[in-house]
Amino acid sequence: MAHEITVTGKPSQQGSKRHVGNGRMVEMSKTLPAWRKAIIDAARDAQGPGWEALDGALTVGLTVYLARPRTTKFPEYPAGAPDLDKMQRAVGDALKLAGTIVDDARIVTWHARKRWAVGCEPGAVISIETS
């Protein structure tokens, strides 16, 4: 049985960093902290009392819903930025921070896709199953 989490908010990617001096790097995305918080809050709400973080080999399903711009080169699918793999990274790390999973290294399979948010709010639907 899959554990399902619905997140609303502006999806953001994680991965691109910039150097700020003294060997320190920071995320370039200014929208990542709000997106990460939205995932953590939704994940904790879905967990309920007495939740134990999922451990073992995990399969994660991810559908990200992006706000559709007025004009786009790809009207059927969001085939441009942000990168899906970088959004997966943000989701995996947030699930670990929320205590939903022991570690995002436990994810052995991803089923990820991007869609336009037509008939729904921007955000994501995440499902997690033990393999």
Is 71 a residue whose pLDDT tops 80? yes
- For residue 7, the enclosing domain spans 3-130
Can you tell me the mean pLDDT for 102-124?
97
Read off the CATH number of the domain in which 34 is found. 3.30.1330.70
**Burial (CB count <10 Å: 0-12, 13-18, 19+), residue 78:** buried
Is 47 a residue whose pLDDT tops 90? yes
- Asked if residue 131 lies in contact with residue 108, where contact means CB atoms within 8 angstroms, the answer is yes
Can you tell me the mean pLDDT for 103-118?
97
- How many domains are there within the chain? 1
Is 10 a residue whose pLDDT tops 70? yes
Query: Strands, DSSP E only, in the chain?
Result: 3-8, 17-21, 24-27, 58-66, 107-116, 123-130
Other beta carbons within 10 angstroms of residue 7's beta carbon come to 24
Can you tell me the mean pLDDT for 98-106?
97
Report pTM. Answer: 0.89
- Asked if residue 126 lies in contact with residue 38, where contact means CB atoms within 8 angstroms, the answer is no
